[in-house]
Amino acid sequence: MMRRGIVSALVGLLASFIQISVLPADAASEPADFKEVYDLIRAHVAGLSQQQLDHAAVQALVTALAPKVMLVSGESNTTSSSALISQTNLFEGDVAYLRITRIGSGLPEAIRKSYESLAASNKLKGMILDLRYTAGSDYAAASAAVDLFVAKERPLLNWGNGVTRSKQKTDALTVPVAVLINHQTSEAAEALAALIRETGTGLILGNLTAGQAMIAQEYPLKNGERLRIATAPIQLGEGSPLPPEGIKPDITVRVTADEEQAYYADPFRSSHNTNTLFASTGLSLTNPPSANNRARRPRFNEAELIRERREGPALATDLPGTREIDPEKPVVRDPVLARALDLLKGLAVVRHTRS
């Protein structure tokens, strides 16, 4: 079946730039022989150079076998100088938000520093690690990042160098964690998300990841590129391999790729179909809906509060015209982020009730 897929991919790529008539294959027939198809195309397709045919064949092989086989740019690492955490924020006054753009050396220190900065003047009730569009192949950094949240010693991750373990500690970060993922969450970011769930640190929200977390060997090619071939799966500490199809979220929040990119750029962005998005995911908005992102509400002064307690609520016509008006906080429209905020707020209420 894999060989048939490769041949189909080859024919499809060739058909995209030359006129080839592709007849439907009988599903029960034997798969076509790759060399036979290759030789026939080379001998009979007019205007097709050997270089074009070879390029199409390579692309077809890589496409059919992805993500177990990948072509990697010849540059060592174009993102090595980019920030590990590109954005931090405080939502609802007590939920820390960290947007991780790359899994690399120094990530655990960056997470702790960001956490301590946000917790300096606020008692945090939760933390959101946004791993959407996050890549990086530093599995040691992923393991060490999760170690921040684990108080006891336990096995964490094995990427071919033996099993890493968390260290017993008294300063572990104990806040509930929500991890945001999507189809562009890849490699070590996938392992980090899986470890957060495996250790009981938090839950994963979003969509299936890229399925690129694997032990791989790279082979240099003549054109300067490298061929990356998966040799074994990444394993969690207990020995279970990360699934090749990607990490499934605990809570799936469906959103189109275009909408997700727009919300990623601006989580407060208004959209004509925002109500549809929230209805389809079963979300309860973090803030009540309003005509715009900055609805205004009256703020009572002390005298009015005393009057209301003594005489009962005042009618709208009784309110003084000079009453101060406060702008409301913007509404979080990003469906995945909003769902994570709702989850952490709910967990905070449960924890407070039990304490």
Kindly give the confidence (pLDDT) of every residue in the chain, 355 residues in length, as a single tens digit, with 9 standing for 90 and above. Answer: 555 555 566 555 555 544 445 555 555 567 788 888 889 988 998 988 999 988 888 888 888 888 888 888 755 444 455 789 999 999 989 999 999 999 999 999 999 999 999 999 889 999 999 999 999 999 999 999 999 999 999 999 999 989 999 999 999 999 999 999 999 999 999 999 999 999 999 999 999 999 999 998 899 999 999 998 989 999 999 899 999 999 999 999 999 999 999 999 999 988 654 444 444 444 444 444 433 444 444 555 555 555 665 666 555 455 555 555 556 678 999 999 999 999 999 988 877 666 5
Measured distance CA(186)–CA(261) in Å, rounded: 16
Q: Residue for token digits 């407070």?
A: 352
- What amino acid occupies position 203? L
**Is 119 domain-assigned?**
yes
Tokens of 282: 């079963």
Cα distances (Å, whole numbers) of residue 309 to 147, 303, 323:
52, 10, 18
DSSP letter, residue 318? G
Instruction: Return d(Cα 47, Cα 51) in angstroms, integer.
Output: 11
Q: Are residues 236 and 118 in the same domain?
A: yes
Q: What pTM does this model have?
A: 0.73
The β-bridge relationship of strands 202-206 and 177-181 is parallel
Same domain, residue pair 138 and 60: no
- Which of 233, 259, 285 is the last residue in one of the domains? 259
Q: Measured between alpha carbons, how far is residue 336 from residues 61, 197, 236 in Å?
A: 35, 17, 26
**Nearest residue to 273 (alpha-carbon basis) of 255, 286, 295, 257:** 255
* Tokens describing residue 3: 């060989």
Q: Is residue 77 part of a domain?
A: no
* Tally of domains in the chain: 3
**196 and 163 assigned to the same domain:** yes
The pLDDT, as a whole number, for residue 72 is 83
Domain assignment present for residue 342? The answer is yes
Yes or no: say if 226 and 180 are a contact pair by the CB < 8 Å rule.
Answer: no
Is position 234 within any domain? yes
Among 259, 290, 317, the domain boundary falls at 259
Domain boundary among 259, 294, 311: 259
One domain, residues 58 and 92? no
Domain shared by 41 and 182, yes or no: no
**76 inside domain:** no
Backbone angles phi, psi at 227, to 5 degrees: -100, 115
Same domain (yes/no): 233, 273: no
120 domain residue, yes or no: yes
- Where in the chain does DSSP place strands (E)? 69-72, 85-91, 95-100, 126-130, 155-158, 163-165, 177-181, 202-206, 214-220, 226-233, 235-236, 251-252, 296-298, 325-327
| Sheet with 251-252, side-by-side order of all strands | 85-91, 95-100, 126-130, 177-181, 202-206, 251-252
User: Do 110 and 176 belong together in one domain?
Assistant: yes
Of 42, 173, 43, give the one whose Cα is nearest residue 118.
173
pLDDT of residue 285: 42
- Examine the domain organization and report whether 282 and 210 are in the same domain: no
What CATH number is attached to the domain comprising 232?
3.90.226.10
Residues 190 and 285 in one domain: no
Verify that 238 and 169 share a domain, yes or no: yes
Distance CA 152, CA 192 (A): 18
Instruction: Answer yes or no: do 60 and 92 share one domain.
Output: no
Range of the domain at 28: 2-65
* DSSP letter string, 64-77: HHTTTEEEE-SSS-
Answer whether residue 27 is part of any domain. Answer: yes
Which string of b and e fits 330-343 if b means at least 16 CB within 10 Å?
A: bbbbbbbbbbbbbb
- Same domain flag for 115 and 152: yes
SS3 315: coil
Question: Is 275 among the domain residues?
Answer: yes
Please work out, in degrees rounded to the nearest 5, the angle formed at the alpha carbon of residue 160 by the alpha carbons of 159 and 166: 55
